Amino acid sequence: MNMTAVTPELVDAAYAALGSGDPAQVARYWHEDMRWCVPGNHQLAGWYEGRDAFLGFMERVGKLSGGSFSMERVAVLTGGDYSADVTHNVGRRAGATGAASPYDSLDIDVVHVLRWSDGRVVEGRGAIFGDGTTRFNQFWSQLDAGGARISG
């Protein structure tokens, strides 16, 4: 049984802990055995098994986007063992210099659905609204707009 209610405040605290980068804070809200699924079929897509793998994914997002990747919170929802946060995500590929293209710039609306157990996230999955998954696949592809291969 889930003794800690999943509330918007808990969701906020978990993301704040994640943003802090403080391992103790992260461990408080994100279970060691958590798993996370990134939508699409690009190099970052699929299930990350374990908190370390998830944190490695987050780090790679930062690196590939030159630290430009940001998520603006639009809404937080809860229900039973679940939470959902709707965000507006933007980013620019590290090193991109040319005009905006779906390979260089990202602007999508996303929802993350999290499952909790005793106050910690045990599973999370992202999903993208509209045709954003196509653009997500382009953005995280190892291609620039001209088809050059970029090392990831």
Q: Does 47 bind a copy of itself (CB under 8 A)?
A: yes
Cβ distance to a copy of itself smaller for residue 24 or 149: 149
Phi, psi of 12 (to 5 degrees): -55, -45
Tokens representing 13?
Answer: 């605290």
Q: Which residues, including other chains, have CB under 8 Å from residue 21's CB and lie 6 or more apart? A: none
User: Which H helix or E strand runs over 11?
Assistant: helix 8-20
Q: Which stretch binds a copy of itself (CB under 8 A): 14-22, 24-32, 62-70, 82-90?
A: 82-90
Q: Which stretch binds a copy of itself (CB under 8 A): 13-21, 25-33, 89-97, 137-145?
A: 137-145
Tokens representing 104?
Answer: 């260089």
User: Considering only residues 116-135, where is the footprint of a copy of itself by CB under 8 A?
Assistant: 125-134
From the list 14, 64, 78, 121, which residue makes contact with a copy of itself (rule: CB under 8 A)? 78
From the list 18, 37, 71, 94, which residue makes contact with a copy of itself (rule: CB under 8 A)? 37
In contact, 51 and 32? CB cutoff 8 Å? yes
Q: Least distance (Å) from a copy of itself to the CB of residue 137?
A: 6
Tokens representing 129?
Answer: 């609204």
Tokens representing 144?
Answer: 């620039």
From the list 18, 39, 60, 94, which residue makes contact with a copy of itself (rule: CB under 8 A)? 39
CB atoms within 10 A of CB 41: 12
Tokens 């996370």 -> residue: 36
Q: Does 84 bind a copy of itself (CB under 8 A)?
A: yes
- Residue ranges that bind a copy of itself, judged by CB under 8 A: 8, 37, 39-43, 45-48, 75-84, 86, 102, 109-111, 113, 125-134, 137-138, 141-143, 146-149
